[in-house]
A = this chain, B = another copy of it.
């Protein structure tokens, strides 16, 4: 693995470039997109041709930030001086854009994930940064590229989403210090927060209510299981995509160690989402049913009735928690 370049070296490469691809990871979150927007606008203000190249849809809650910075057309910059991947450090995180990325005369990586392997021409990976947005802030400061309201708001999105609103353990004093400086640019953080967090359909709310109403505790309250059926979705005019996140909410129930969400699909198969709080390892459980994932977040698909799936999963989970 290469050593880090300096933030100045990255800045100089961008300063020398005329055209830049900015490539956030697939299934963008607030940090990937906010960082990309802030950098893209900054580069354009420096007179560069800069575009954010995407491969999938911008999530609804982040759409408000795109004011003409994004494209799906990989021919828009045929010969980029720089291709910069942001909030990721691995081509598997932007699979459909690798060919466009590789056209860059210089490839650059800006990231805060410690798993980033620094395999590009220039790399700056800071695992201590709570968000890649903090690194972009440092880059703009280093280059004396001035922030404006829009850039400040994009950086706020990056930092506030990746720190769980300044609650996750990755948050540092530096996160707060940067935010204080973003206020100076006149950012409307509460409007931005409303865009991100106060923008869910009532249908989603009602569907979630039904799902949580279905929740049952097992193993003396260590396990919670809830179900999303096609019937619930229909009744609430909601979609399975809107059920994303419920399994994490269930984990926040007092005393629960492992939360399970059984999602019924029209083909009669069940997708099972699993989350662990402190000690559980849901990757092991998911793998027993042909699935996989991380220790604290995993999933599998089982083609059986809801009741059977529930019974099988509860058995496995209880066995693990007893061991």
Contact = CB atoms under 8 A, between A and B. Distances in A.
A171 B190 contact: yes
Contacts of A209: 208-210, 212-213
Contacts of A93: none
- The 4 closest A-B CB pairs, nearest first, are A165-B165, A169-B190, A167-B193, A209-B209
A253 B202 contact: yes
A171 B190 CA distance: 8
A202 B224 contact: yes
Count the copies: 2
A46 B165 CA distance: 34
A98 interface: no
B208 A212 contact: yes
B206 A213 contact: yes
A282 interface: no
A117 B251 CA distance: 42
Interface stretch (A74-82, A107-115, A176-184): A176-184
19 contacts: A60-B254, A160-B166, A164-B193, A165-B165, A165-B166, A167-B193, A167-B197, A171-B189, A176-B176, A176-B177, A191-B278, A197-B252, A198-B253, A198-B277, A201-B253, A202-B217, A202-B221, A206-B213, A208-B209
A9 interface: no
A43 to B, nearest CB: 28
B168 A190 contact: yes
A16 interface: no
A323 interface: no
A199 B256 CA distance: 9
* Candidate in A179, A190, A221, A249 with the most chain B CB atoms within 10 angstroms: A190
Contacts of A99: none
Interface string A244-263: 00000101111010000000
Given A167-B189, A198-B252, A202-B221, 7 more contacts: A165-B167, A166-B179, A173-B180, A176-B183, A194-B277, A198-B254, A202-B224
Given A168-B190, A177-B180, A278-B191, A206 B215 contact: yes
A194 B278 contact: yes
A19 B189 CA distance: 42
